[in-house]
Structure 1
């Protein structure tokens, strides 16, 4: 059997193990501090994926320094969605062939659950499409992350466990343990971010409203926009993918864009690409 045929039938197990880790919530106590840990890491993951992996590495919708580029990449890799080169290469392929048979995660052709999680569990899609990401392969630090995509996530897990263990020893009255921080701060937050991210590929190509009559099935979904810092305005995004702003109306909350504007004020990022007025002024043409 060829390597390609063998990989086609193999399942990538890390996602399964991450979900199994979430079952730990039934064996450790819940507390307000654990909720805060969960929300803090969830928000960090969502920003580094939406602003970093998606709007920067996939679409180059703003510019930044090489140092902050690596910070976005390293922190994004902590979310255990592989590295930015793998992620962006497949996302660019998605935009080239959105909802066609060559789209790696189209619910139109593969079904809802394939688009949501099935595609990312297949070993045959483990390889990075370097031909789609040549503009970033020249950075050795990004190639290092590409070769070691799970290292930052493992470092995060270890750090959370050690910090919790220290609290357990030094401040036992606080009721914080290493296993608590590991479950709420790593497993639960990571899996929650998995599914809100995956919902953009599945839900946001099925359920919502269409402002623009683009050549794919993308829709705007306000609930996903809240959960993903603005990514839920997906029909807007497919109308003009290279801009950093995805909420095209004043009431379309886009937290990642607002954070990028704040970072621009401090000159950490610059040349943020905005949607043209001609597109913002378009009336709805969706069927």
Structure 2
């Protein structure tokens, strides 16, 4: 039971900071916050994403390109140009590393207005950091996993961030329904998006990219939005006026 709690906790905490910090803040600036809280969220993203920590700068550049060129040949991760999800993940990883290592200059409109902490980016993106987190996950399983088959969950821990991205990019542009004609293939994969914390309301998000609430119809529930509203009321963050 401990292993299940650990897995579920890692899944949702990693995903929360990916959608809240890298996506909604770094990529879209859906809210503002103080330098103290920005660094706090940055550090928490590193801790909870662990071995699959994603540089907010590289993430933001790629995501902005995805919106600008959604489901065209210039989209860095449209599922309609790959034979399977593994090819999509491979191509996404290559482009992400190019931005991470600054080997590819982003278009002017995609650069800037994202949080940067070069030291933490270097640490979090290093092989040593990823291996240390992987070793900690493995040791935790070694001490608490009662059955051998539970060790099959470890690869998910190791690649949590890329897996979340692959699920959203693949399913959110292939399966589901559309509320809006966005001139792309974005879909709302599910009407009640709990497992992906609202990220699979891709059709809604592409229509309203700066809206903090990804759910638009009465049955579409974005679990992260109430958390952001609470933070707004507590003055930890300040949501944009169109939230």
TM above 0.5, yes or no, is yes
Unpaired stretches in structure 2, ≥5 consecutive residues:
100-104
1:7 aligns with none
Q: Match for 1:149 among 115, 119, 124? A: 124
- Matching of residue 136 in structure 1 with residue 136 in structure 2: no
Counting only pairs closer than 5 Å after superposition, residues 213-232 of structure 1 correspond to structure 2 as 213-222=181-190, 225-232=193-200
Take 1:119 and 1:273, find their aligned partners in 2: how far apart are those partners?
Answer: 36
Answer whether contact 1:106 1:115 (CA < 8 A) is retained.
Answer: no
Evaluate the alpha carbon distance shift between residue 261 and residue 194 of structure 1 in structure 2; reply closer, same or farther with a 3 A threshold. same
- Equivalent residue in structure 1 for 2:217, among 249, 267, 279: 249
Candidates 201, 206, 225, aligned match of 2:169: 201
Equivalence for 2:17:
48
TM-score (norm 2): 0.79
Residue of structure 2 in register with 1:284 after alignment: none
Whether the 8 Å CA contact 2:60–2:114 is kept in 1: the answer is no
Which position in structure 2 is the counterpart of 1:58?
Answer: 27
2 CA distance for matches of 1:81 and 1:201?
18
Partner of residue 3, structure 2: 34
Aligned counterpart, 1:270: 238
Q: Is the 8 A contact 2:82 2:88 kept in 1?
A: no
Aligned to 1:83: 55
Q: Deviations over 1:96-130 (max 9, x none)?
A: 111111111112233442674131243x5412255
Structure 1: give runs of 5+ residues left out of the alignment: 1-31, 169-174, 276-287
Distance in 2 separating the partners of 1:205 and 1:273: 28
The answer (yes or no) to whether the contact 1:34–1:185 under 8 Å persists in 2 is no
Judging changes above 3 Å, is the alpha-carbon distance between structure 1 residues 246 and 105 closer, same or farther for their aligned structure 2 residues?
Answer: same
The CA deviation string for residues 3-61 of structure 1, in whole angstroms up to 9 with x for no partner, is xxxxxxxxxxxxxxxxxxxxxxxxxxxxx011111111111101000111111100001
Q: Contact (CA 8 Å) 2:197, 2:223: kept in 1 or not?
A: yes
Given the alignment, which residue of 59, 71, 74 partners 1:102? 74
The answer (yes or no) to whether the contact 1:156–1:186 under 8 Å persists in 2 is no
Aligned to 1:239: 207
Q: CA RMSD in A?
A: 3.0
Q: Which stretch shifts more, 258-267 or 190-199?
A: 190-199
Q: TM-score, normalised by structure 1?
A: 0.68
SS in 1 for 2:59: helix
Report how many aligned residue pairs link the two structures: 228
Q: Which consecutive segments of 4 or more residues in structure 1 shift more than 6 A?
A: none
Indicate if the aligned counterparts of 1:115 and 1:202 stay in contact, CA closer than 8 A.
no
| 2:192–2:220 Cα contact (<8 Å) kept | no
